[in-house]
């Protein structure tokens, strides 16, 4: 079968022939129908940092935002049948280890061993069947594969919003109006935000923020975000601030925009080893809650597909680029480096 694989760093992606995965009694096979490109894929293509590359080396098939059809089911797998149209979680927590028992899925000891093989930019993937029913979400008939492929990033954002503990009517400020920022925007509204304020300095992204219904948009290229937020909140600061860029500069800035007693959620991933300085006054006297958010649990994955299929999250509008060949993965990454468009989906 064909696969778009990363052969060397940076971004040397070529279509190659690989063996179709063989499934055992406790696995199942998915025929990939759509795989969306994630900012993480772009980072991995440029820097080569991924635990699966450390484990197996290159070439490596990227892609983990997947929807497809169940093509073959091992004898012992329960909860999925051939022909099911599903969104696929790339990994799934075991449900049994200490971390899982307390709902701390990010730290499941076994989740790394439950990854799909290979990545999604190919024709078929093998899914280990442990917890099969919890790792795929069945799609309603009227939902397209390309929309369902966004279940994984929406689930990550869902977790970020849930951890931000927005109370109805509160101000939520989001730094970064890329695809993730725009998903967070829509989810913040679902969660009851009274007003969503978006900050970016890219003109195209500022336009997207308005199109997707931000109540206020701040152009950090020409305006001082701190001043604008103080003005909008009578000097208090925003109830919740979510960083969705992944730079130390905006990590630091997020801390300046929140009100006393408010919550800052660090959603964007900075390059490994990055550090920021935080005044202790801010932590102690300002009683801030600082939250990190990165992964999601199985319940969130299923609810995220529901939010997409009911239109609470407009997945269709987030997809700006559709490619109908695996040859185009490299091109999709190239234009993402230039921050062009929003979600890119390869439809197979």
> Is residue 262 near Zn ion by the rule CB under 5 A?
no
Place of tokens 């991933």: 269
Say how far apart CA 39 and CA 246 lie, in whole Å: 11
Pick 93 or 225: Cβ nearer Zn ion = 93
> Is residue 36 near Zn ion by the rule CB under 5 A?
no
Q: What angle is formed at CA 268 by the lines to CA 263 and CA 273, rounded to 5 degrees?
A: 105
> Is residue 345 near Zn ion by the rule CB under 5 A?
no
> Is residue 288 near Zn ion by the rule CB under 5 A?
no
The least distance separating Zn ion from the CB of residue 192, rounded to whole angstroms, comes to: 26
Mark 103-142 with x for binding to Zn ion (rule: CB under 5 A) and - for no binding: -----x----------------------------------
Q: Is the dihedral of CA 325, 328, 329, 335 positive or negative?
A: negative
> Is residue 246 near Zn ion by the rule CB under 5 A?
no
Cβ contacts of 54 within 8 Å, gap of 6 or more: none
The least distance separating Zn ion from the CB of residue 6, rounded to whole angstroms, comes to: 16
Enclosing H/E stretch for 312: none
The least distance separating Zn ion from the CB of residue 97, rounded to whole angstroms, comes to: 3
> Is residue 97 near Zn ion by the rule CB under 5 A?
yes
The least distance separating Zn ion from the CB of residue 136, rounded to whole angstroms, comes to: 17
Taking every pair of Cα atoms in the chain, the longest distance, rounded to a whole number of angstroms, is 63
DSSP code for 16: E
> Is residue 93 near Zn ion by the rule CB under 5 A?
yes
- Contact segment (CB under 5 A) with Zn ion among 33-41, 124-132, 246-254, 320-328 equals 33-41
DSSP code for 328: G
Q: What is the DSSP string of 84-137?
A: -EEEE-S----S-SHHHHTT-GGG-SSGGGG--BS-SSBSEEEEE-TTHHHHEE
- Contact segment (CB under 5 A) with Zn ion among 122-130, 139-147, 151-159, 268-276 equals 151-159
- Residue of the chain from 23, 38, 61, 258 that contacts Zn ion (CB under 5 A): 38
> Is residue 100 near Zn ion by the rule CB under 5 A?
yes
> Is residue 162 near Zn ion by the rule CB under 5 A?
no
The least distance separating Zn ion from the CB of residue 288, rounded to whole angstroms, comes to: 28
> Is residue 297 near Zn ion by the rule CB under 5 A?
no
Q: Radius of gyration over alpha carbons of the chain, in Å? A: 20
Cβ-count burial of 221 within 10 angstroms (0-12 exposed, 13-18 middle, 19+ buried)? Answer: exposed
> Is residue 220 near Zn ion by the rule CB under 5 A?
no
Q: Contact residues for Zn ion (CB under 5 A)?
A: 38, 93-94, 97, 100, 108, 153
């Amino acid at each position: 079968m064909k696969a778009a694989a990363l052969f060397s760093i940076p971004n040397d992606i070529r279509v190659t022939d690989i063996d179709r995965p063989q499934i055992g009694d406790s696995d199942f096979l998915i025929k990939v129908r759509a795989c969306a490109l994630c900012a993480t894929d772009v980072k991995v293509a440029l820097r080569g940092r991924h635990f699966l590359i450390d484990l197996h080396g290159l070439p490596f098939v990227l892609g983990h935002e997947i929807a497809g059809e169940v093509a073959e089911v091992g004898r012992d797998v329960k909860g999925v049948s051939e022909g099911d149209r599903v969104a696929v979680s790339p990994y799934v927590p075991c449900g049994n280890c200490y971390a899982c028992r307390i709902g701390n899925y990010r730290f499941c000891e076994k989740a790394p061993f439950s990854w799909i093989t290979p990545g999604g930019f190919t024709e078929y993937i093998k899914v280990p069947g442990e917890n099969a029913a919890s790792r795929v979400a069945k799609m309603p008939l009227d939902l397209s594969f390309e929309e369902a492929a966004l279940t994984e990033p929406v689930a990550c954002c869902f977790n970020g919003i849930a951890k931000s503990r927005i109370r109805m009517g509160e101000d939520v400020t989001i730094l970064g109006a890329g695809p993730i920022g725009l998903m967070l925007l829509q989810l913040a509204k679902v969660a009851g935000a009274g007003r969503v304020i978006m900050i970016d300095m890219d003109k195209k992204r500022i336009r997207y923020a308005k199109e997707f219904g931000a109540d206020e948009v701040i152009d950090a290229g020409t305006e001082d975000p701190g001043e604008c937020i103080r003005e909008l909140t009578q000097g208090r600061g925003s109830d919740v601030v979510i960083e969705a860029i992944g730079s130390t500069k905006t990590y630091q800035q997020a801390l300046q925009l929140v009100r006393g007693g408010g919550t800052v959620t660090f959603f964007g991933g900075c390059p490994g080893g990055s550090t920021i300085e935080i005044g202790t006054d801010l932590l102690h006297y300002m009683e801030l809650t600082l939250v990190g958010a990165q992964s999601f649990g199985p319940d969130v994955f299923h609810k995220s597909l529901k939010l997409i299929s009911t239109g609470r999250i407009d997945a269709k509008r987030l997809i700006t680029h559709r490619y109908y060949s695996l040859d185009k993965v490299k091109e999709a990454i190239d234009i993402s480096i230039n921050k062009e468009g929003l979600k890119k989906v390869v439809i197979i």
